Amino acid sequence: SSELTQDPAVSVALGQTVRITCQGDSLRSYYASWYQQKPGQAPVLVIYDKNNRPSGIPDRFSGSSSGDTASLTITGAQAEDEADYYCNSRDSSGNHLVFGGGTKLTVL
Amino acid sequence: QVQLVQSGAEVKKPGASVKVSCKASGYTFTGYYMHWVRQAPGQGLEWMGWINPNSGGTNYAQQFQGRVTMTRDTSITTAYMELSRLRSDDTAVYYCARNFPYGSKFLPGDWGQGTLVTVSS
């Protein structure tokens, strides 16, 4: 079982804003990062260390955190943003990495 | 550019071992930790551990302790992940991923294409 909890599925209308959340005790101590995975492809890092975007990631992706919950926000969702999204962070021991269960985003 | 090229698909019987390779290029191999992450069919991502290619030091997820061995050969810039005593629920795509250049050493950044390991009698 994962120490990070995500909603299994979220939907958003094209062009609207959506927030995907990740909850876990370790997020009080460690930053979350976020990955996008499309069917049949390897994951892609979209946000690291709470709110930093790797080169090439559109600025409609942003991250935030409060208490035990981290969030990925997509402002103005596009059709190509339809994918699975995973958060990760260190576990409560701080020595290992753990992924959330993933959220399937549907863009309507 | 960073490239991680993994070995091809494998079919193994329960109880056997599998060794997956990950050939790195486009960067200094010894400068970045290498993670291994797996994904069972239709399931989420599961971190298995990392190896420090410079020292050979490893850090394994608790659920794989005793069954997984991560090694590297710096002369050919290749990392390996060997999983023993395979069970049917080890059927998954196994990914290697270079640690991202910025941030902590717990941040898989660039990913290989994945290797499907099927465990079936």
Q: Which pLDDT score is estimated for A2?
A: 57
| Both tokens assigned to A33 | 């990062």
pLDDT of residue A1: 47
CB-based contact, B63 to chain A, within 8 Å = no
Q: What is the mean pLDDT of residues B52-68?
A: 97
Which pair of structure tokens corresponds to residue A9?
């599925």
Q: Give the span between the Cα atoms of B53 and B98, in whole angstroms.
A: 10
Residue B13 predicted with pLDDT over 90: yes
Q: Measuring CA to CA, how many Å separate A2 from each of A5, A22, A24, A26, B101?
A: 7, 11, 9, 12, 26
Min Cα separation A15/chain B (Å): 27
Residue B59 has pLDDT above 90, yes or no: yes
> How confident is the prediction along chain A (108 residues), in pLDDT tens digits per residue?
458 999 999 999 999 999 999 999 999 999 999 999 999 999 999 999 879 999 999 999 999 999 999 999 999 999 999 999 999 999 988 999 999 999 999 999
**Taking CB atoms and an 8 Å cutoff, what residues of chain A touch B37?**
43, 99
Confidence of residue B104 (pLDDT cuts 50, 70, 90): confident
Residues of chain B with Cβ-Cβ distance to A95 below 8 Å are 59
Angstrom CA distances, B67 to A57, B14, B16, B52, B78, stand at: 37, 13, 11, 19, 20
* % of chain B beyond a pLDDT of 70: 100
Nearest chain B CA: its distance from A4 CA (Å): 12
Confidence of residue B102 (pLDDT cuts 50, 70, 90): confident
CA–CA distance, A21 with A103 (Å, rounded to integer): 9
Beta carbons of A45 and B107 less than 8 Å apart = yes
